[in-house]
Amino acid sequence: MGNNNRWAREGGVIDEILVENMWRNPEGNPIIFDSILLELVTLEPGITLVLNTAVHELQMTDDDRIRSVMAFCSQNQTLYLFDAPLFVDASGDGILGFLAGADFRMGAEAASEFNEPLAGPEETNELLGHSLYFYTRDTGRPVTYVPPAFALNDITTIPRFRELRVSDTGCRLWWLEYGGNLDTVLQTEEIKWELWRVAYGVWNYIKNSGNFPGSENLTLEWMGTIPGKRESRRFIGDIILTQNDVVNQATHADAVSFGGWAIDLHPADGVFSAQPGCTQWHAKGVYQIPYRAMYSRNIRNLFLTGRLISATHIAFGSTRVMATCAHNGQAVGVAAAQCLESQLLPRDLVDAARMQRLQQNLLRSGQHIPGVAGHHHKDLAQRADVSASTTLHVSDLPSSGELTSSDISHALLLPLPAGAVPVITLCVDSIRSTTQRAELWRSSRPGNATPDILLASVDAPVETGKAKALKLDFQYSLEEPLHVFVILPSVSGVTFHQSTAQLPGILTLSQKMNSSVAKSAIQSPPEGSGVDTFAFWLPDRRPAARNLAARFSPPLQPYSPSNVINGFARPWQGTNAWAPEASDPNPTLRLSWDKPETLDRIEIVFDTDFDHPMESVLLSHPERIMPGCITSYRILADDTLVLAEILENHQTRRILKLSNPVTTSSISIQILSHGAAPPAIFEVRCY
C-alpha cells in the first residue's frame, strides 16, 4: 500500500495462497506459511513433488529442444530422469536454461542499448545482491552472547550501522545485502560466508555494544543458511522488458500477467555502500507483462518464469518480486497446459487466436491482466439475464463522529457513471469561516489511480462550528464511466467527519507517503531519469481505515447485477460488482436464460478486498476474513433445487463442480452470511 496501485493484488493461484494464509495465519508466521504451500501442492493430483533434488545434466535433441533432464537427491541418494515434451525453468539461477544453452544476460545494460535513462552510461557486471537475516526471541531473562570468531568486528564498516534497532528482525533486515559486484551464481557460497560474517557481527553489536538496552533478554533464535538471491542470470525471450515498458505502462497484445512493484535498485556494494540501501521509482499504475518474455528465444520447448523472465537489469528491479514471479508462473503453467493439449511449442501461442484463448483461460483461472476483459466463449453466464433481489444505492457514508487530520489533503475515490457528477455534501468542523477548495480529477490512463488530469473545481464556503454541511456541486459531466478523485486540499482549521462505512470500489485517500517505499509524499525523480513526478494518494490500512462522511445526490448506483458478467472481476474503471441493500432479508443474485441450459460447473468471485496486499510475513493483519467476503451461501436451480450450500467461505474464487449435470432455466445465489462490509460478488461464470 505504498503507491497508487489500487485493487492490484495478484490473482489466481497466488491469491488463493495469500487468502488462505490470511485465514489461518494473520500473524504472519513464516513456518505456517510454508506448511500451507506444501499442503496445497500435495492436494494437487497432477503434481509429483521431488524435494531436495538438483538438476545437473540434460540431453538435447537435434532441433534445439530439451529431451530429458537428470537430477540428484543427496537425501535418498537417488538419480532421477525427467523426460517431457516441455520444460519450465523457475529455478532463479536458470540452471536448466544454462545447461541447455539458452541465451541469457548478466549485469547491467548501458542506457543507450534500450534507451533506459535510469541505466548507467556503460555496461557493467553489477547486479542486485544477496540478503541474509535472522530472527530473535525474548527469553524473559538475561542472555549472554559470544560471537563466532568469523563475525564482523568493526561495525563501522557498515555505513548504515546507526540505523540498527533492537526491534529489527527477519525481513526488516533485508538491507544486510552483499554480492552485487561478484558472480552471484559461481560465487554464491563466498557471498553467503560474507553475509554470515555481517549478520553475526550485527547481532554481536546489538547484544554487546551497550547501545541497545532492550536487548538483554533477547537470544538469536534463527540465522539464515541460504541467502535470498535477488539477481543472477536473466534469460532472453522474443521480447525484452525495459524501463520504458514499466514506467510508461506499455500495452502488449500478448499480455498474460502484470507487475506493480517499484523499479527497486540496490547499490552493488550492498551493506558496505554509503548509498541508501535502495532507490525505488514507481510508475503511475500497474504494467502488463507480455508472454513473449516467458520462453527462451533459442531453446524451443523451454518456458521461463519466476525471476528468469526476459527483462533488462532496470526492468528486473520491478519484475523480480515474489508475488509478481508467482503470477508469471501461473501464466506459464496455463500456457504449458494449452501447448500440451494441442501439441504446440511455447512460441506457437503468440498466434493471435491462440493468444486470445490463453488470455481467456488465464482470466477464467483468476489471473488479472490489466485492461483485458474475461469473456470465455463457453461461459453460459455471458448470455444470461442477470437480476437481483435488491441493489445497493449509496446515498450517504454516515458520520461516525471521528475527524480527519487537518494538515494533509484528502480525497474520495469514487466510481461514477457517464453523465452529470452528483452533488457531494461533506460534513466538516471548522474553527473559523473560510473557503474550502475541492477539485475533480481523473487518471490519464484507464485503470490507474493517480490523479493527473484536472476536470473541474469549486470553492465552497465553510461555516464556523461543528458538523456543518459542505456542499460540492462541480456541474461537470463525465464522458465515460470511471473512478474520479474528489480532492480536498488542506485548509487550516477545517477537519472532515469520517465514516466507518466500507464499500467495494470506494476509498478515501490522503496525500502522504509510506516510508517503506518512498522518501516523500510526492515522487520527485532526478531530471532526465525517465520517471514521472506525481503525488502518492494512499488509503489507511484497516482497522484505521475510514471513508470521509458524505451524502450523494442523486445516490451512487455502481453495483448493478449485470456487473458480474461484464468481464472484470475486480474494481477497474468502476466497481464491477453487485452488492445488495443492507435491509434485504434474503439477498439473492439470479441468472436466467430464455431456454434451459445444461450446467456442470459454476464459478463465483467474491470480495476479498484486492486492495489489501496480504503480506505473508512482514506485517500482521487485523482480520482473518475480508469484511466484504460472503462467508456462507446457497446455490439453487430454478429457485427450488439446492445445488450447494456452503457454510464456510473465505476464498476469492469458489468453484462448484456438479456430480451430475443439471438442466435449468435459472440459478440463484443466496447470501446467507457475510462480514462487516456490504457483501459483494464480482463475477459469476457457468459452464
Q: What is the pLDDT of residues 400-443, one digit of tens each?
A: 999 998 899 999 999 999 999 999 999 999 999 999 999 999 99
The per-residue pLDDT for 1 is: 81
3-state secondary structure of 255: strand
The per-residue pLDDT for 171 is: 87
CA distance 613 to 616: 9
Answer yes or no: are the C-beta atoms of 137 and 156 closer than 8 Å: no
324-350 average pLDDT score: 97
What's the first-to-final CA gap in the chain, in angstroms?
Answer: 36
Nearest to 16 by CA among 272, 529, 367, 443: 367
CA 659 to chain centre: 35
Answer yes or no: are the C-beta atoms of 610 and 8 closer than 8 Å: yes
CA distance 257 to 217: 47
Above 90 in pLDDT, residue 375?
yes
Q: Which helix (H) or strand (E) holds 631?
A: strand 630-637
Question: Hey, what domains does the chain have and what are their CATH numbers?
Answer: 85-125+231-364 (no CATH), 130-229 (no CATH), 380-391+559-686 (2.60.120.260), 394-556 (2.60.120)
Instruction: Please report which confidence band the pLDDT of residue 617 belongs to, taking 50, 70 and 90 as the band edges.
Output: confident
CA distance 466 to 430: 6
Answer yes or no: are the C-beta atoms of 570 and 644 closer than 8 Å: no
The per-residue pLDDT for 320 is: 97
Q: Going by C-beta distance under 8 Å and a sequence separation of 6 or more, which residues neighbour residue 538?
A: 1, 2, 3, 4, 509, 510, 512, 513, 514
Q: 343: how many CB neighbours lie within 10 A of its CB?
A: 8
279: cell is 532507490
Beta strand residue intervals within 224-294, DSSP E: 228-229, 234-235, 255-259, 263-265, 279-281, 287-290
**pLDDT tens by residue, 444-476:** 999 999 999 999 999 999 999 999 999 999 999
**pLDDT tens by residue, 619-649:** 889 999 999 999 999 999 999 999 999 999 9
Q: Helix %, strand %, coil % for the chain, to 5?
A: 20, 30, 50
Answer yes or no: are the C-beta atoms of 426 and 496 closer than 8 Å: yes
Q: Going by C-beta distance under 8 Å and a sequence separation of 6 or more, which residues neighbour residue 456?
A: 421, 439, 440, 474, 475, 476
CA distance 427 to 468: 6
Bridge-based pairing state of the strands 482-488 and 410-416: antiparallel
Residue carrying the nine cell digits 480525497:
411
DSSP tag of 614: -
The per-residue pLDDT for 552 is: 98
The per-residue pLDDT for 618 is: 78
Nearest to 257 by CA among 205, 150, 333: 333
Residue 189 — left, alpha, or beta (φ > 0 → left; ψ -120 to 50 → alpha)?
alpha
Above 90 in pLDDT, residue 169?
no
Helices (H) and strands (E) in the chain, counts: 9, 39
Handedness of CA 387, 389, 395, 398 (dihedral sign): negative
80-92 average pLDDT score: 97
Nearest to 168 by CA among 191, 139, 143, 202: 202
Above 90 in pLDDT, residue 115?
yes
CA distance 358 to 341: 12
CA 159 to chain centre: 32
- State pTM to two decimals: 0.96
**pLDDT tens by residue, 503-552:** 999 999 999 999 989 999 999 999 999 999 999 999 999 999 999 999 99
Q: 530: how many CB neighbours lie within 10 A of its CB?
A: 20
Residue count of the chain, please give it. Answer: 687
Q: Which helix (H) or strand (E) holds 203?
A: helix 188-208
